[in-house]
With several copies, the nearest count.
Chain A
């Protein structure tokens, strides 16, 4: 089972990286806006050991408590297979 977690700064929260990237893209002659930089975390889990539902709960827990910082970030969890 493949897991894919996207973690992005909450809207309204300052994203200093995003600002810097916008600046830099200007060097390329690209005028962009609303740039946000987030993380993706991908990993695999061996199937069959625990029930699907249980795993999903665990994955949400991990995404919220470990992979993201709920105070300033949102996460999106995708499970394949």
Chain B
């Protein structure tokens, strides 16, 4: 067969060197030849290279990802089958949600990189037929304190990423209602930008990304294709180097306005019943959407490139197929419905074109002016990428710390230092830039343990939280990953929610290095174990490998986004204290005597005050964790708690200070607690023992709370009271007492980030 030999632009020859430059190994090249029964041409090589990149094929992580529990009676669409998983939430409604990374584009161009990341994940959700309802974002940067070049660059990245998310999310009209931001050296030069979107739909609205029905027309709709973002999927599957700066064409510019129109048009289109299949053009653009829809539909797809709306002249087939221009969709329409479809696109002022049709021969066939330029079995391309079982190094277990190795710092100063750590300090500066009240459903504003949102259309209340302590993961990836999942579920439980699904973003270093691969495997197994234990399915996720900068890989960061359901809006609990008459309790152990490091391994106390990342991460007892959730659920449902806030980074003292500082102005008062004198103060106050929540209890409910805690088997300790006529936080241990003025804690907590960013 002769393929497009007479084309005007002569394509480069496929040489071993060209193959390597495309990130394919020679073995992979041989496999391609076998699939085709001949050598690929240059365009076909490009097509294979993006589809077989880690980003699209998960070739290095697939075998590991199979360890996740993905099923369950509420799962309507499983992880990996479509663009996002779908979970039943009752009354005929379901949710689709997923997290996606845009780390490398954001490193090169923070504003557009983050913005297009938001655009991409939103498309994944409405492609499923769901109306997107809210966003979360999980961000990591190098340290932003100080005047060094590095710190300044980190601030620039941080400001740019937040502005980019704000720009895209606000414009399209989705509330960004939660997330996390951490700062750590390991992210110098390689920030992490993970964005999450959740959408809601009726069961019968689930749309499939499959090309079905021979002869059905294939439509292209959305922005014109340009040379931007060429081969971004391949870009994401490489390490960042100095030369990455030269990869600038890989950066795309987003147009949230177009996306808004595209979203409305697609939802209208899906409701019209004209659509046989639909798929967004994300990574690997037109290539990915054509071969994946064909593969899922057990069919073939044939498209003509001359019909594709183009922004630039003289684009080659290679460029058109590999472009990652944003805001584009592929829609397969039931034959005979073309006019209705066109009307909808025209109503929304969107460029569109009928570019091809569904065939039955199983090929992804691409023509240019009638000549075949690509002809590849779609299924092989989409599904048959090699799966690698990478070599995993044996990881060194972390060395436990003795209690005597934890230096003592005056608690007064230590608390101030921790609250002014940018990773702990309030992220208000961030979320003030996000419209978090649009769609009038944010029942808890950002700043609570989990975001809580009422969808006005379905009347369903959902909660979502994203978590990961990467210091724990660096010391022990399995333990860190388990804690990430548990913390996420605990955050949900603190608002009154019960988890229904998890989506994860695995941010790791180059998997070809056995140490990195071992971290990946350990983390996956840790996530799987906890999800399995609680019967919560992993409904999808994303893998971002090659997160390295010249100074090495990032600390492993398996970001967990969990979604929960809240039975009734009357069960919702905020994180902050709200009634000056309340008593304060700790649910869980004040000190984990079974933990070798007493909850100081990988703690913020050691990191912030002594620059150390060492020890064994806190111990996690899943049975105890389960009992805690049960207790919270029970107490929330009968409204026995006025607030619940979990102890995480910085331990009990930080959690207490947060719950107090976040109190609404009109009910402000003081708080006093006293702790049993069973260990040195810094150990009691700052250990990061797991499975602990600070709650505030109305006076008349105290007895019942204690009774329930006892019945379920959760330790409950009365810590103290809110003090109506006061404005201090005070803690006493034995005969000693420490006191903080509101003003000093407040400025440490709320002013740190604005002061760093606004100068």
* Complex contact B251–A12 (CB within 8 A): no
Asked if A13 is at the interface (CB within 8 A of a chain B CB), the reply is yes
- Chain A residue numbers with a CB within 8 Å of B257 are 16, 20
- Chain B residue numbers with a CB within 8 Å of A21 are none
Query: Which of B76-84, B222-230, B440-448, B475-483 is found at the contact surface with chain A?
Result: B222-230
Knowing that A9-B253, A16-B253 are A-B contacts, what are 15 other residue pairs whose CB atoms are under 8 Å apart, sorted by A's residue number?
A12-B228, A12-B249, A12-B312, A13-B253, A14-B223, A14-B252, A15-B253, A16-B254, A16-B257, A16-B258, A20-B257, A23-B349, A72-B109, A72-B112, A72-B251
Which residues of A, 1-58, contact B by the 8 Å Cβ criterion? 9, 12-16, 19-20, 23
Q: Chain A's nearest CB lies how many Å from the CB of B455?
A: 29
What are 17 A-to-B residue pairs whose CB atoms are below 8 Å?
A12-B228, A12-B312, A13-B228, A14-B253, A14-B325, A14-B326, A15-B253, A16-B253, A16-B258, A19-B255, A20-B257, A69-B109, A71-B109, A71-B112, A71-B248, A72-B109, A72-B251
Asked if B699 is at the interface (CB within 8 A of a chain A CB), the reply is no
Label chain B's interface by main secondary structure.
loop
Q: Chain B's nearest CB lies how many Å from the CB of A47?
A: 20
Name the CB-closest residue of A to B312.
A12
Closest 4 CB pairs of A and B: A16-B255, A14-B253, A71-B109, A71-B248
Asked if B108 is at the interface (CB within 8 A of a chain A CB), the reply is yes
* Complex contact B248–A14 (CB within 8 A): no
Asked if B741 is at the interface (CB within 8 A of a chain A CB), the reply is no
Which residues of B, 40-54, contact A by the 8 Å Cβ criterion? none
A77-B255 Cα distance, complex, nearest whole Å: 27
- Chain B residue numbers with a CB within 8 Å of A12 are 226-228, 249, 312
A69-B115 Cα distance, complex, nearest whole Å: 15
Asked if B311 is at the interface (CB within 8 A of a chain A CB), the reply is yes
- Chain B residue numbers with a CB within 8 Å of A69 are 109, 111
A11-B632 Cα distance, complex, nearest whole Å: 57
- Chain A residue numbers with a CB within 8 Å of B349 are 23
Q: Chain A's nearest CB lies how many Å from the CB of B564?
A: 36
A9-B226 Cα distance, complex, nearest whole Å: 14
- Chain A residue numbers with a CB within 8 Å of B325 are 14
A50-B388 Cα distance, complex, nearest whole Å: 61
- Chain B residue numbers with a CB within 8 Å of A20 are 257
A12-B108 Cα distance, complex, nearest whole Å: 18
A58-B109 Cα distance, complex, nearest whole Å: 23
Contact of A72 among B223, B253, B258 (CB under 8 A): B253
Which residues of B, 335-353, contact A by the 8 Å Cβ criterion? 349
Q: Chain B's nearest CB lies how many Å from the CB of A4?
A: 21
- Chain B residue numbers with a CB within 8 Å of A15 are 253
Q: Chain A's nearest CB lies how many Å from the CB of B573?
A: 41
Mask: chain B, 77-116; 1 = CB below 8 Å from A; 0 = not: 0000000000000000000000000000000110110000
Could you tell me which B residues sit within 8 Å of A by CB distance?
A: 108-109, 111-112, 223, 226-228, 248-249, 251-255, 257-258, 311-312, 325-326, 349
A19-B257 Cα distance, complex, nearest whole Å: 11
Q: Chain B's nearest CB lies how many Å from the CB of A35?
A: 12
* Complex contact B226–A14 (CB within 8 A): yes
A23-B759 Cα distance, complex, nearest whole Å: 10
Q: Chain A's nearest CB lies how many Å from the CB of B24?
A: 27
Taking A69-B109, A72-B112 as contacts, is the C-beta distance between A14 and B228 under 8 angstroms? yes
- Chain A residue numbers with a CB within 8 Å of B248 are 71
- Chain A residue numbers with a CB within 8 Å of B223 are 14
- Chain A residue numbers with a CB within 8 Å of B226 are 12-14
A5-B109 Cα distance, complex, nearest whole Å: 21
- Chain A residue numbers with a CB within 8 Å of B108 are 71
Q: Chain B's nearest CB lies how many Å from the CB of A77?
A: 21
A72-B109 Cα distance, complex, nearest whole Å: 9
Q: Chain B's nearest CB lies how many Å from the CB of A2?
A: 18
Q: Chain B's nearest CB lies how many Å from the CB of A15?
A: 8
- Chain A residue numbers with a CB within 8 Å of B249 are 12
A69-B112 Cα distance, complex, nearest whole Å: 11
- Chain A residue numbers with a CB within 8 Å of B254 are 16
- Chain A residue numbers with a CB within 8 Å of B227 are 12
A20-B255 Cα distance, complex, nearest whole Å: 10
* Complex contact B251–A71 (CB within 8 A): yes
A72-B105 Cα distance, complex, nearest whole Å: 13
A19-B311 Cα distance, complex, nearest whole Å: 11
A9-B253 Cα distance, complex, nearest whole Å: 10
A71-B311 Cα distance, complex, nearest whole Å: 19
A45-B109 Cα distance, complex, nearest whole Å: 30
Name the CB-closest residue of B to A71.
B109
Name the CB-closest residue of B to A16.
B255
Taking A72-B251, A72-B253 as contacts, is the C-beta distance between A14 and B311 under 8 angstroms? yes
A9-B311 Cα distance, complex, nearest whole Å: 14
A23-B251 Cα distance, complex, nearest whole Å: 25
Q: Chain A's nearest CB lies how many Å from the CB of B588?
A: 48
Taking A23-B349, A71-B248 as contacts, is the C-beta distance between A14 and B109 under 8 angstroms? no
- Most chain B CB within a 10 A radius of its CB, from A9, A14, A19, A23: A14
Q: Chain A's nearest CB lies how many Å from the CB of B591?
A: 48
- Chain B residue numbers with a CB within 8 Å of A16 are 253-255, 257-258
Q: Chain A's nearest CB lies how many Å from the CB of B258?
A: 7
A14-B249 Cα distance, complex, nearest whole Å: 11
- Most chain B CB within a 10 A radius of its CB, from A12, A15, A71, A72: A71
- Chain B residue numbers with a CB within 8 Å of A23 are 349
Name the CB-closest residue of A to B227.
A12
A71-B104 Cα distance, complex, nearest whole Å: 14
- Chain A residue numbers with a CB within 8 Å of B258 are 16
- Chain A residue numbers with a CB within 8 Å of B253 are 9, 13-16, 72
- Chain A residue numbers with a CB within 8 Å of B228 are 12-14
Name the CB-closest residue of B to A23.
B349
Q: Chain A's nearest CB lies how many Å from the CB of B667?
A: 36
- Chain B residue numbers with a CB within 8 Å of A72 are 109, 112, 251, 253
A9-B109 Cα distance, complex, nearest whole Å: 14
A72-B116 Cα distance, complex, nearest whole Å: 14
A50-B500 Cα distance, complex, nearest whole Å: 64
* Complex contact A14–B251 (CB within 8 A): no
Q: Chain A's nearest CB lies how many Å from the CB of B163?
A: 12
Q: Chain A's nearest CB lies how many Å from the CB of B570?
A: 44
Name the CB-closest residue of A to B349.
A23
Name the CB-closest residue of B to A15.
B253
* Complex contact B312–A14 (CB within 8 A): no
A72-B326 Cα distance, complex, nearest whole Å: 15
A27-B223 Cα distance, complex, nearest whole Å: 21
Q: Chain A's nearest CB lies how many Å from the CB of B297?
A: 31
Q: Chain A's nearest CB lies how many Å from the CB of B477?
A: 34
- Chain A residue numbers with a CB within 8 Å of B312 are 12
A58-B91 Cα distance, complex, nearest whole Å: 57
Name the CB-closest residue of A to B105.
A71
Name the CB-closest residue of A to B229.
A14
Q: Chain B's nearest CB lies how many Å from the CB of A62?
A: 15
A9-B255 Cα distance, complex, nearest whole Å: 14
Q: Chain B's nearest CB lies how many Å from the CB of A67?
A: 14
A69-B253 Cα distance, complex, nearest whole Å: 12
A13-B111 Cα distance, complex, nearest whole Å: 15
Name the CB-closest residue of B to A10.
B248
A56-B750 Cα distance, complex, nearest whole Å: 41
Q: Chain A's nearest CB lies how many Å from the CB of B323?
A: 11
A53-B230 Cα distance, complex, nearest whole Å: 39
- Chain A residue numbers with a CB within 8 Å of B109 are 69, 71-72
Name the CB-closest residue of B to A65.
B156
A17-B312 Cα distance, complex, nearest whole Å: 17
Q: Chain A's nearest CB lies how many Å from the CB of B325?
A: 7
